[in-house]
Amino acid sequence: MQQSHREASVESGFTLVEILACLVVLAIAGLALTSYFVNAMSYAKGNQNKTVMVNLARNTLFYLQKETVFDKLGTYFQVDAETLPSGEKRNVISADGCTNGVCANYRTLIRNGSTDTSTLATILHPNINGIQYRVEISYQPSLYKTLKEGAATGGTSAGSGEAADAQTISKYLIPIKVSVSEEKVNADGTIEPVTTKRDQTEVEGYITDESIR
């Protein structure tokens, strides 16, 4: 009877080595899960940031359509010049043209530019939820050339009637690209340029002359 009790006592329970092995396995699994949740949170934050930037770009397009002077904007972007002289760059609209919240460089482009360009300054350099963004508006001559030549979708040549219509309507459209990026402000106040696609987005659109409405 004593021998049977002794054998049962020896077989019951876990050894210290087994417990330590279980702890190691649980620790490794915990680290893996922690990494997964951290990546998931980072991905969700990145998607939220992308959504904000897309909305800022769309808001910029809406503002330009409602508040800019079409002819002045076309002159500023040099729409009629398919190519520029060597070394000359296309004009862009960005916060660099604004000082102390006033965009004097773009005053003539805005309908009420003589009285208010601070709204444009906010559009070009918005701060959302404590994050500073930078908006840049550029002209797309390649899209204008395609539209003007009446190239049909799908890579096929348009008919003479379609080409004529495209050339006519091209006079009333300015294709632009709105680029939005997150500004990285360092501790010393310097701004770090954005180098990753994750922190920037682009939205294309057309500014339409209101005379065709």
pTM for the whole thing?
0.71
Amino acid in the structure at residue 163? A
Give the pair of three-digit tokens for residue 197: 């696609």
pLDDT tens digits, one per residue of 100-124: 888 988 999 998 877 777 899 999 9
pLDDT tens digits, one per residue of 23-78: 888 888 877 777 766 666 666 666 788 889 999 999 999 999 999 999 999 999 99
Angle at which helices 160-170 and 141-149 cross, to 10°: 140
Q: What percentage of the chain has pLDDT greater than the value 90?
A: 31
Amino acid in the structure at residue 36? Y
Query: So where are the chain's domains?
Result: 37-67+78-89+133-212
Which letter does DSSP use for residue 138 in this model? E
* Nearest in space to 118 (alpha carbons), one of 101, 134, 106: 101
Would you tell me how many other CB atoms lie within 10 Å of the CB of residue 67? 16
CB 188 within 8 A of CB 40: no
Burial group, residue 3, by CB count within 10 angstroms (0-12, 13-18, 19+):
exposed
